[in-house]
Every structure is written in structure tokens, then in C-alpha cells.
Amino acid sequence: HEKPVPLLTVLAIIGTPLVLILAATFSSIALDPSTLRSVIEFFGNPFVALTIALFLAYYLLGIRRGWSRKSLESVSTSSLKPVGNILLVVGAGGIFGAVLKGSGIADALADTFNDVGLPVILLAWLISVVLRVAQGSATVAIVTTAGIVVPLVEGQDLSQAHLALIIMAISAGSIFASHVNDGGFWMVSKYFGISERDTLKSWTVLETVLSVAGFVVAALLSLVI
């Protein structure tokens, strides 16, 4: 049996991309354009940072512990199956989001909801919830909802705090009822080895509670700010 991986090794692998990405973010704010800033931003690019973390994991968890090339290939290959399923689901959600934006639904919904009379923060949450449940991707739900809500808030004199609360409501709606068309749902199911039914009972319920709670907090704050 192999010895357990030291905690510091695991933290180093997890922390490396985080440190690189944060360094790139801060360098874009604190440093003037220069070669040093370009280098930091290159290594802080999420794709580059995660690739570095991947090779670091290969070395620290595999090569340094005596793993053969065949063992590394086997582990890498077995990890592609769940990741591939997730990528397909997320990709399908992205395509659906592109169709929604390209069809002009943003302007149509904005005109419709303008006459409803509901608070913008409630409409933002509801639209985000509908898009989230329909296509699964939280990112697509946020981006599409933002495009729909912009025409609704442009004509109103809203403070920065209220705009932030609307964004909070959109974000809360984007995690509502994570189910089978959400990549995160399958990530939880596959990596924790639980059935789809149990994932619906646990993960889906948790995400729904968080979504409703987030909206309630945003709505209450909008009444007093």
C-alpha cells in the first residue's frame, strides 16, 4: 500500500493555480504595462495555471511516488469519461444559450416584463431560474438574464447598491434546481459515486434552498438600502 499523500503536497497542487490567477489579477491592477506584467498574466491565465497544476500533480502524486508511465496513462484515461460527459452537457447548454441570445428573446422578454409591474429584482431572479432549469448552465443563465434585464434597468434611476442586489438575485437564480442537464449535477454524482436519484434528493435540494435564500436576502436588502 502506498503512503498517504502529505497534506502540504495536496495544498500545493490546489493552491498553485489559485495563486497564479490571483497574481495575474492583481498585476493587471497594480503594475503598469511591462514585460513582467505580461509574464505574470500569461502564467495567471486560467488555462495555463490549471495546466501547470496538472503537470505538478503528475509529478508529485505520480512520478515522484514511483508510478510508471502506464499507470499515469491509465489514471488519465479513466478520468476522461466523467469529464467528457460533463463537457457534452455544458456544451449543449452553451449552444442553447447562443440560440436564445441570437433569436432576439432578450428584447421580446424585456418588452413583455416591462408591462407586468413586478419589481426588477424579482423578474431578474425568475428569468434566471427559468433559463437555469431549461438549459442547465449557470453561466449561460447569468449572461442571458443580464442581457434581458439591462433594458429594464436602463430607464430607472437605480443606485449602485440596487444594481449589485439585482446581480445577486440573478446569480441566486442561476443555481436553482440543479438537475440532469447541469454539468455540476453530474460532477457531484460521478465523483462522489451516488445515484442520480440520491443526487436529486441532496444536491438539487441544496442548490434550490441556496437559490431561494440568496434571493430573499437580496430582496430584503433592496427594501432598506
Q: What is the mean pLDDT of the chain?
A: 86
- Banded pLDDT at 93 (limits 50, 70, 90): low
| Residue bearing the bigger pLDDT, 91 or 26 | 26
- Three-state SS string over the chain comes to CCCCCCHHHHHHHHHHHHHHHHHHHHHHHHCCCCHHHHHHHHHCCHHHHHHHHHHHHHHHHHHHHCCCHHHHHHHHHHHHHHHHHHHHHHHHHHHHHHHHHHCCHHHHHHHHHHCCCCCHHHHHHHHHHHHHHHHCCHHHHHHHHHHHHHHHHHCCCCCHHHHHHHHHHHHHHCCCCCCCCCHHHHHHHHHHCCCHHHHHHHHHHHHHHHHHHHHHHHHHHHHHC
Q: Summarize pLDDT for 46-71 with one digit per residue, the tens.
A: 999 999 999 999 999 988 888 888 98
pLDDT score, position 1: 56
Q: Summarize pLDDT for 166-214 with one digit per residue, the tens.
A: 999 999 999 999 988 887 888 888 878 899 899 999 999 999 999 999 9
pLDDT score, position 204: 95
